[in-house]
Amino acid sequence: MNYFELFKFSPAFDIDTAVLAERYRELQRAVHPDKFAHDTEQQKLLSVQRTAQVNDGYQTLKDPIRRAEHMLALRGIDLSHETTTVKDTAFLMQQMEWREALEDIRHSVDPQESIDELYQSFAQYRATLTQILTQLLHSSEDEDGLLAADQVRKLKFMAKLHDELTRVEDALLD
């Protein structure tokens, strides 16, 4: 299923998320089970299936990583079930450093300050990755597609790191 088509977007990485949210609500009004509560069982079932599709499409297009993955999947580059990892040594070194920093938070004098600093570094690095990704996705060259896939893998690493940081922060606050 091409979610760009479902939401009437041309397949580009930089979409207007406000327009996306607006179209999502319009689509929901058209297909949601509540609108068919009084209809036949068959129509209700169809409505549940279609709404599930609309929901998945919205989540996919809303999230930059998933949107990029979807674009690449439409070009025949499937990242969802792959086992390929990032081979960029500099990137991996940086990941290790950040992971050590995560470990150290507990022993730091001002944990909240360390956490905030990390959040900031992560955000900066992600912005850079996303910028490169945007450029690569503008190109229709196969090679650029593969390079874009690498950026997506790195962004996934960053997302995991971000999750772990929030977990550390939770443990601190609870």
The stretch near another protein (CB under 8 A) out of 54-62, 104-112, 128-136, 137-145 is 54-62
Q: How far is residue 61's CA from residue 109's CA, in Å, rounded to a whole number?
A: 41
Contacts 24+ apart (CB under 8 A), 57-62: 57/1, 57/3, 57/6, 57/7, 58/7, 58/20, 58/24, 60/3, 61/3, 61/4, 61/7, 61/9, 61/15, 61/20, 62/17, 62/20, 62/21
The stretch near another protein (CB under 8 A) out of 56-64, 118-126, 134-142, 152-160 is 56-64
CB of 34 to another protein, least distance (A): 6
Is residue 55 a contact point for another protein (CB under 8 A)?
A: yes
Site residues for another protein, window 115-154 (CB under 8 A)? Answer: none
Quick one: 30 or 96, whose CB is closer to another protein? 30
Number of residues binding to another protein, judged by CB under 8 A: 42
Q: Which of 1, 2, 18, 33 binds another protein (CB under 8 A)?
A: 33
Is residue 91 a contact point for another protein (CB under 8 A)?
A: no
